[in-house]
């Protein structure tokens, strides 16, 4: 049995917990990055949550996002088991709809939102506001007023203007619990655009140079603001635990400075999220069990060295819960072979529903579903339907040499930062989302149509 050394927030006593369960891995011969429920089906179909992807495509059309409810719930439970004394908040920016809010609430997770839209949707779905944390680098006065009116549990202060702005909305007898987002100077993440733990970008208060210390002092001077602790977010698609350990070291030093300067011990330490998943079978994946044990141990040791009580740990996984739970299904529109042998397989989606390859060069895999190949393999780029040379979904993937228009391609690991970042480019509507579980499929989000675009027009 592995023991987590973080103390119980209620008693301060060390508490033992069962060995953290790993996040479920895909089964049968499919392997990662497919959902754990993925199985071969009849007629070369692929079952996810007991539902055939080809069957779902025929019923609901394409492009289609098939979201495995069981996978979402299992991954949420894995976080709760691995971190029983921490607070786990699902990062809504990865993907949010009312059903997703229901599932993570049922599994005991909180919710991390970064806009009025995410906040309103969650509360409208019945998610308890006290279990919601609001952050973001440019919260509007209207968003702060909404958060106060809905009584969200915590607000993360990300810039100097927010301190006075939020304090002006709060009465001293009804304080708002806040965290201060600090930048510890630690680079982590798969792309420069998502490395948010270092200086020179728009988020938070750098520790180096004293900006974080000054912000903390200003917050403590506001009677209407209750400083609960510190927040940081290092980046995205992080597959190693070491950056989080360095963040613990930096933040505990800052906690000790706060106590020495102000005589206050802060209760919470939020390490953010960014936990990486597999997009390709050979990719590394974040080790949740290792994270749980090593971060708890490091936090306990550093706090003991500084003479501090161990603060309650908060984590904000988004991709690690939603990403592996969805599969995108596209229909092939054309197969174009160039004189140089290069092959382009064009599908009915693209960068409007998955901008990640265009933004970050993100790799994906794809496979034919619903038909057995009758020839060998070829190398091809799966490209989208948009008028952009960069609209490439999957580069250099092995596909059947007899692939033809009308075929169906399934792309795994499609649950995070695809539909949440989707656009209306070329007025191509966003795809439908279907939830699958125990052999049943139900529509969660209908397909966006041209009429939806027209309804936004108010004049000509």
Same domain, yes or no: 303 and 367: no
Segment 430-449 mean pLDDT = 98
Q: What is the CATH number of the domain that holds 172?
A: 3.20.20.10
How far, in Å, are 214, 383, 388 from residue 336 at the CA level?
A: 59, 11, 16
Distance CA 382, CA 431 (A): 18
pTM of the prediction? 0.90
For residue 12, the model assigns a pLDDT of 34
Same domain, yes or no: 147 and 282: yes
Last residue of a domain, one of 290, 317, 344: 317
Q: Which pLDDT band holds residue 196 (cuts at 50, 70, 90)?
A: very low
How far does Cα 212 stand from its chain's mean position?
Answer: 26
Same domain, yes or no: 313 and 232: yes
Q: What is the mean pLDDT of the chain?
A: 90
For residue 188, the model assigns a pLDDT of 54
**pLDDT tops 90 at residue 439:** yes
- Residue 103, in any domain of the structure: no
| 235-264: pLDDT as tens digits | 889 999 999 999 999 999 999 999 999 999
**pLDDT tops 90 at residue 448:** yes
Give me the count of residues in the chain: 460
**pLDDT tops 60 at residue 312:** yes
Distance CA 425, CA 145 (A): 33
In order, the DSSP letters of 239-290 are --SHHHHHHHHHHHHHHHHHHHHHS----EEE----B---SSTTS----HHH
Q: Which pLDDT band holds residue 158 (cuts at 50, 70, 90)?
A: very high
Q: Which pLDDT band holds residue 197 (cuts at 50, 70, 90)?
A: very low
Dihedral over Cα of 94, 394, 391, 347: its sign: negative
| 136-154: pLDDT as tens digits | 999 999 999 999 999 999 9
Q: Between 116-124 and 98-106, two packed helices, what is the crossing angle to 10 degrees? A: 70
**pLDDT tops 80 at residue 80:** yes
Give catalytic residues, as residue numbers: 387
**Joined tokens for residue 210:** 């004293």
For residue 192, the model assigns a pLDDT of 53
How many domains, in total, are found in the chain?
2
| 222-242: pLDDT as tens digits | 999 999 999 999 988 999 999
Same domain, yes or no: 310 and 332: no
For residue 11, the model assigns a pLDDT of 32
Same domain, yes or no: 181 and 251: yes
- Residue 242, in any domain of the structure: yes
For 255, the domain range is: 135-317
For residue 23, the model assigns a pLDDT of 36
Segment 3-18 mean pLDDT = 32
Same domain, yes or no: 150 and 198: yes
**pLDDT tops 60 at residue 15:** no
7 compared with 173, residue with greater pLDDT: 173
**pLDDT tops 50 at residue 25:** no
Same domain, yes or no: 139 and 228: yes
Segment 153-157 mean pLDDT = 97
Same domain, yes or no: 166 and 233: yes
Segment 47-61 mean pLDDT = 98
| 101-129: pLDDT as tens digits | 999 999 999 999 999 999 999 999 999 99
How far does Cα 116 stand from its chain's mean position?
Answer: 18
| 322-381: pLDDT as tens digits | 999 999 999 999 999 987 889 999 999 999 999 999 998 999 999 999 999 888 899 999
For residue 8, the model assigns a pLDDT of 33
């Amino acid at each position: 049995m592995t023991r987590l050394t973080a103390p119980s927030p209620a008693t301060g006593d060390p508490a033992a917990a069962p060995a953290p369960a790993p996040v479920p891995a895909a089964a049968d011969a499919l392997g990662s990055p497919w959902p754990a429920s993925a199985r071969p089906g009849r007629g070369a179909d692929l079952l996810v949550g007991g539902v055939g992807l080809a069957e779902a495509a025929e019923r609901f059309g394409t492009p289609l996002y098939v979201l495995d409810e069981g996978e979402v719930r299992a991954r949420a439970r894995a976080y709760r088991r691995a971190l029983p004394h921490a607070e786990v908040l699902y990062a809504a920016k990865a993907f949010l709809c009312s059903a997703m809010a229901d599932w993570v609430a049922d599994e005991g997770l909180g919710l991390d939102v970064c806009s009025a839209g995410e906040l309103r949707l969650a509360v409208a779905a019945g998610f308890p506001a006290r279990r919601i944390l609001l952050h973001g680098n440019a919260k509007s006065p209207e968003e702060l007023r909404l958060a106060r009116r809905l009584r969200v549990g915590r607000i993360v202060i990300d810039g100097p203007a927010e301190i006075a702005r939020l304090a002006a909305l709060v009465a001293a007898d009804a304080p708002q619990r806040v965290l201060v987002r600090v930048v510890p100077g630690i680079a982590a993440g798969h792309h420069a655009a998502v490395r948010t733990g270092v200086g020179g970008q728009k988020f938070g208060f750098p520790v180096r140079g004293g900006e974080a210390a000054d912000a903390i002092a200003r917050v403590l001077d506001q009677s209407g603001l209750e400083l609960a602790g510190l927040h940081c977010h290092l980046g995205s698609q992080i597959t190693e635990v070491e950056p989080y350990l360095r963040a613990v070291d930096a933040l505990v030093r800052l906690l000790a400075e706060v106590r020495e300067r102000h005589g206050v011990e802060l209760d919470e330490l939020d390490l953010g999220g960014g936990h990486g998943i597999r997009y390709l079978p050979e990719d590394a994946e974040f080790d949740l069990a290792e994270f749980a044990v090593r971060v708890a141990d490091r936090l306990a040791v550093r706090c003991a060295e500084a003479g501090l009580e161990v603060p309650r740990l908060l984590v904000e996984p988004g991709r690690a819960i939603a990403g592996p739970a969805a599969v995108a299904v596209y229909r092939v529109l054309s197969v174009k072979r160039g004189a140089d042998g290069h092959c382009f397989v064009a599908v009915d989606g693209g960068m409007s529903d998955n901008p990640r390859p265009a933004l970050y060069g993100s790799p994906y895999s794809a496979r034919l579903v619903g038909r057995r190949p009758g020839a060998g393999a070829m190398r091809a780029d799966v490209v989208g339907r948009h008028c952009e040379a960069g609209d490439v979904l999957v580069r250099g993937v092995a596909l059947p040499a007899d692939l033809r228009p009308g075929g169906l391609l399934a792309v795994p690991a499609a649950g995070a930062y695809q539909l949440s970042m989707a656009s209306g480019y070329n007025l191509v509507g966003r795809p439908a989302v279907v939830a699958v579980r125990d052999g049943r499929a139900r529509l969660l989000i209908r397909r966006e149509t041209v009429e939806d675009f027209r309804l936004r027009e108010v004049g000509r």
